[in-house]
């Protein structure tokens, strides 16, 4: 993938340019139904995409997922701008015969401490819409989380490499939205954080289905719990794998594959260089996000980062005002 250097101000301006063609037009006369001016043969996808373009883009913006590489001189210098819609996945998530839309978007938080600039700390929101009288209606929303704690997405003072993948996986007549997160520290400390978790959408509620999550940060002696939910409620939590101990599994990748096999899924571990479902034919790609530490020049205090993402739903090719950008 081609990358190029830009300064921080260009990063911000490129995002503004991306949104500039998506301003909301004055409302037309009618009863307010999104389908007032839509032909009768318009598809469900077209209804959702028009809703995203007319209602959500003006409110939330669209995240710029183009490759951005930047060199900064202070680990706390703010360079990361990724507000807005990440992807929009359309499918019958609860298998009730009506197609739903899973919208993922990133927004800034008010989180702050001594190690990061609050302006560069984001969380990811997952909203599910369904159609009522041919109009998309928000039914469920949640802050993305590994467990019950909110997951934050930000460039770290430790120069972390961050890799995230989101997939829709069909299994036993149900749809699971699976998140994969790998965080690898390499500037100031040695450590990692590797997690997998899945949601299902049932009874108009997006909730946890299962998790394979690491307990805390570190580089040795880490433990991983397998949590299973029914109707959004935790039914079991077991210590599944512990590094540097006499564990049931000889390695972390074997433990990951064994956990997903218990969920009825065959996966291939790639150390977060790509999704565990890559090449299995089992998934629909929804989103991937990457922050990469590309090098540190300690003598001149230069920190080089790159950010890029890929929207597997192709939303940016389906929103009229974005096609020319």
pLDDT in tens, 188-218: 555 678 899 999 999 999 999 999 998 866 6
Q: What is the DSSP letter of 23?
A: P
Q: What is the pLDDT of residues 18-35, one digit of tens each?
A: 333 454 443 444 444 444
What's the predicted TM-score (pTM) here? 0.83
Contact indicator for 5, 14 with CB cutoff of 8 Å? no
Q: How confident is the model at residue 154 (pLDDT cuts 50, 70, 90)?
A: low
Give 69-93 as a 3 state SS string. EEEECCCCCCCCCCCEEEEEEEECC
- Pick the range with the lowest mean pLDDT from 43-52, 117-126, 207-216, 305-314: 117-126
Q: Give the Cα separation of 57 and 60 in Å (integer).
A: 5
Task: Measure the CA–CA gap between 93 and 175, rounded to whole angstroms.
Answer: 6
Instruction: Yes or no: say if 234 and 213 are a contact pair by the CB < 8 Å rule.
Output: no
pLDDT of 323: 53
**Least confident range of 44-48, 90-94, 196-200, 290-294:** 290-294
The pLDDT tens digits for 61-99 are 999 898 888 887 765 666 677 789 999 999 999 999 999
User: What CA–CA distance (Å, rounded) separates 60 from 84?
Assistant: 5
Helix (H, G, I), strand (E, B) or coil at 106: strand
pLDDT computed for residue 9 by the predictor: 27
């Amino acid at each position: 993938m081609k990358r190029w250097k830009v300064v921080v101000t260009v990063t911000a301006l490129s995002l503004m340019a991306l949104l500039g063609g998506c301003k909301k037009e004055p409302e037309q006369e009618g009863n307010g139904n999104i389908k007032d001016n839509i032909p009768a043969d318009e598809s469900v996808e077209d209804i959702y995409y028009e809703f995203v373009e007319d209602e959500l883009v003006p409110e939330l913006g669209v995240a710029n997922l183009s490759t951005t590489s930047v060199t900064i001189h202070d680990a706390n210098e703010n360079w990361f701008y990724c507000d807005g819609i990440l992807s929009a996945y359309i499918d019958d998530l609860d298998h009730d015969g009506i197609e739903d839309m899973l919208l993922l978007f990133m927004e800034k938080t008010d989180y702050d401490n001594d190690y990061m600039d609050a302006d560069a700390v984001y969380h990811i929101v997952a909203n599910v819409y369904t159609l009522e009288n041919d109009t998309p209606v928000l039914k469920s929303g949640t802050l993305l989380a590994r467990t019950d704690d909110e997951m934050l997405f930000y460039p770290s003072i430790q120069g972390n490499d961050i890799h995230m993948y989101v997939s829709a996986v069909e299994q036993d007549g149900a749809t699971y939205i699976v998140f994969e997160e790998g965080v690898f520290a390499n500037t100031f400390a040695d450590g990692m954080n590797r997690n997998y978790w899945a949601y299902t959408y049932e009874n108009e509620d997006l909730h946890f289905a299962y998790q394979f999550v690491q307990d805390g940060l570190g580089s040795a002696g880490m433990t991983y719990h397998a949590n299973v939910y029914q109707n959004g409620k935790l039914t079991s939590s077991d210590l599944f794998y512990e590094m540097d101990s006499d564990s049931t599994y000889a390695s972390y990748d074997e433990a990951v594959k064994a956990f997903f096999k218990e969920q009825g899924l065959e996966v291939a571990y790639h150390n977060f260089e790509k999704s565990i479902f890559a090449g299995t034919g089992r998934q629909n790609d929804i989103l991937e996000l990457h922050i990469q530490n590309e090098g540190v020049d300690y003598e001149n205090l230069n920190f080089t980062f790159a950010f890029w993402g890929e929207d597997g739903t192709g939303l940016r090719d389906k929103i009229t005002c974005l096609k020319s950008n």
